[in-house]
Amino acid sequence: MTSPRRTFAIISHPDAGKTTLTEKLLYVGGAIHLAGEVKARGQNRRARSDWMKIEQQRGISVTSSVMTFEKDGVTFNLLDTPGHEDFSEDTYRTLTAVDSAVMVIDAARGIEAQTRKLFEVCRLRNVPIITFVNKVDREGRDPFELLDEVAEMLQLDVCPMSWPVGMGGEFEGVYDLYANTLARPEGGSREFMGAPVAFTGLADPALADTLSPEGLARLRDEAELAQGGYSTFDAEAYRGGDLTPVYFGSALKDFGIAELIGALADYAPPPRAQPAEPAAVAPEGKEVTGFIFKVQANMDPQHRDRIAFMRLCSGTFKRGMKLTPTGHGKPIAVHSPILFFAQDREIADEAFPGDIIGIPNHGTLRVGDTLSEKADVRFTGLPNFAPEILRRVVLKDPTKTKQLRKALDDMAEEGVTQVFYPEIGSNWIIGVVGQLQLDVLLSRLDAEYKVAAALEPAPFDTARWISAGDAGDLKSFTDINRSAMARDRDDNPVFLAKSAWEVGYVADRYPKVKFAATRER
């Protein structure tokens, strides 16, 4: 028997405390031994690669990774989503590979822009969410106000699982409304030391020995109101994406961490069936199948290797196994699959549905690829998005055309940027969903490919993948609009438009041509 799997991501707005919480989860899970290691490791890595300077300057994390830890017989796979403000395809795709998410919000700020966007992505895929209201050791907003905000902005039923006794200067601990235990701040640092005090319930007179009279009165009043006013916990409603259990805590001071891990273990869904053609793939299936949701180049600057991150969807993967990318390519023998532990990467001998394995390769594996033993399925729903920003790439040294093409192709493959080769003219055009990706592109061109280039405004603002039922219709459209036609990395025809309005206008005039804002691979 394999241990149960929980594959999840943390979604949050920058600064809400995702890094701190990640670190504490790994610490409690025994995967790291010193608080501060996640950050320290991050800085190390940053120092090694130039383009990552952007991360440092902007205080963001562009690269996402996988961290695996075990606790009480459950294996947790935590997928890191880049937390910067520019919504990127990378973030979206990472969320396609998880079964649930933890939403971290800052008690003083509530739901912020990025939290909301990431939440929308989760909703699209019915990913259930556990909410963690962080930083209750600091002054924060009224808990009722925060709960109402989650309920209203996200249209979810909320169920408080714990309750903070005051916040900031008046903080006296967090009361678990279901286990009837109190986690108290102790010592000079006012941290939770890991020993909650048990009570028979909120009416237990012993509470008066632990809390101040004001704190206790407040807890009783508020908890009563909260239990009456919000939903009670319903695991099915949570798994269906209709209800979010809410934990109050402090990642920095260790409040709520054990409860969060417990909730993931007890309530979060195990690996779910994944949408695929000809039929959804259930994790119980015997055949080994998975999909690539991320490709990362040059994780190790010494080797120009590439790691494709595959989410295993069914079967028991064994090292050395031959898997075939559906639709293209020959079977590949996966001799050195990588499992990601917090501190190290290890060669995996076996992996199970819900696990993420890294497959080293030289560019054969692409984001969106399905891998399987028989090449008889294809996972769906990993789209490319129409870029919102287009730029013309201008080479400073014209002898570097070949290197530039390689770099642009590589990065298109990783999903960092999209590249379009216009039918007319020699200036290639790149497209991105967020501004930040432009900086990443330039910086990597320079650092990894030694290509000095500049980006100039393109005469276009957006792009659509075009198709038509009849080849003749497509040809007559492309002939007439040649100056706006380009090919993407996979040679698909793309119509470049000056505005979304123009797309609408042209689409009206050519009803037989389809204009798609996303392209599924």
Residue positions forming the annotated binding site for GTP: 12-19, 80-84, 134-137
According to the binding rule CB under 6 A, does residue 12 interact with ligand G4P?
yes
**Three-state SS string across 97-121, please?**
CCCEEEEEEECCCECCHHHHHHHHH
Please, which residues have CB within 8 angstroms of residue 302's CB and are 6 or more apart in sequence?
Answer: none
Q: Minimal CA–CA distance to 175: which of 71, 290, 255?
A: 255
> By CB under 6 A, is residue 125 in contact with ligand G4P?
no
Tell me how far apart the alpha carbons of residues 248 and 138 are, in angstroms, rounded to a whole number: 12
The binder of ligand G4P chosen from 5, 6, 18, 521 (CB under 6 A): 18
**CB of 131 vs ligand G4P, minimal distance in Å:** 15
User: Is the Cβ of residue 15 or residue 85 nearer to ligand G4P in the bound state?
Assistant: 15
Cβ atoms of 264 and 8 closer than 8 Å: yes
Residues with Cβ within 8 Å of 439's Cβ and at least 6 positions away in sequence, in order, are: 54
How do beta strands 338-340 and 378-379 pair? unpaired
* Closest C-alpha to 306, from 349, 379, 367, 373: 367
Rounded-to-integer distance, Cα 306 and Cα 57, Å: 25
Closer of 161 and 496 to ligand G4P (Cβ): 161
* Contact between residue 147 and residue 233 where contact means Cβ atoms under 8 Å apart: no
Whichever of 64 and 418 has its CB closer to ligand G4P, that residue is 64
Among 11, 207, 252, 506, binds ligand G4P (CB under 6 A): 252
To ligand G4P, the closest distance from the beta carbon of 421 in angstroms equals: 37
CB 385 within 8 A of CB 432: no
Q: Is residue 114 part of the contact set for ligand G4P (CB under 6 A)?
A: no
Q: Does 250 bind ligand G4P (CB under 6 A)?
A: yes
Write each residue from 350 to 379 as x if it is in contact with ligand G4P (CB under 6 A), else as -, in one continuous string. ------------------------------
DSSP-based three-state secondary structure for 418: strand
- The answer to the question of residue 115 lying near ligand G4P (CB under 6 A) is no
Binding-site positions read 12-19, 80-84, 134-137
Distance (Å) of CA 220 to CA 125, 205, 209? 38, 12, 15
Nearer to ligand G4P, 68 or 250 (CB): 250
Least distance in Å: CB of 265 to ligand G4P? Answer: 22
Task: Report the largest interatomic distance among the alpha carbons of the chain, rounded to a whole angstrom.
Answer: 83
Please, which residue, 104 or 441, has the CB nearer to ligand G4P?
Answer: 104
Six token digits for residue 332: 């590949």
User: Considering only residues 121, 165, 251, 453, which one is a binding residue for ligand G4P as defined by CB under 6 A?
Assistant: 251
User: Least Å distance between CB 407 and ligand G4P?
Assistant: 30
Closest to ligand G4P by CB, 143 or 269: 143
CA distance 511 to 509: 6
138: contact with ligand G4P by CB under 6 A: yes
Is residue 135 close enough to count as binding ligand G4P by CB under 6 A?
A: yes
Name the one range near ligand G4P by CB under 6 A: 10-18, 84-92, 467-475, 502-510: 10-18
Is the Cβ of residue 108 or residue 273 nearer to ligand G4P in the bound state?
Answer: 108
Determine the interface stretch with ligand G4P among 131-139, 314-322, 472-480, 496-504 (rule: CB under 6 A): 131-139
463 and 498 Cβ atoms separated by less than 8 Å: no
Q: Is 131 a residue that touches ligand G4P (CB under 6 A)?
A: no
Under the binding rule (CB under 6 A), the answer on residue 17 touching ligand G4P is yes
Rounded Cα–Cα distance for residues 473 and 468 (Å): 6
> Residue from 82, 83, 143, 160 that binds ligand G4P (CB under 6 A)?
83
Task: Kindly state the number of chain residues that form the binding site for ligand G4P, as judged by CB under 6 A.
Answer: 17
Q: Give min distance, CB of 13 to ligand G4P, in A.
A: 7
Query: Which of 9, 11, 16, 257 is the binder for ligand G4P (CB under 6 A)?
Result: 16
Q: Cα torsion at 302, 303, 308, 310 (round to 10°)?
A: -70
Q: 45-53, long-range: CB within 8 Å, 24+ apart, which pairs?
A: 48/301, 49/298, 49/301, 49/447, 50/443, 50/446, 50/447, 50/448, 51/440, 51/443, 51/444, 51/446, 51/447, 51/448, 53/443
Asked if residue 423 binds ligand G4P (CB under 6 A), the reply is no
Among 19, 63, 88, 114, binds ligand G4P (CB under 6 A): 19
Binding site residues, ligand G4P, CB under 6 A: 12, 14-20, 83, 134-135, 137-138, 250-253
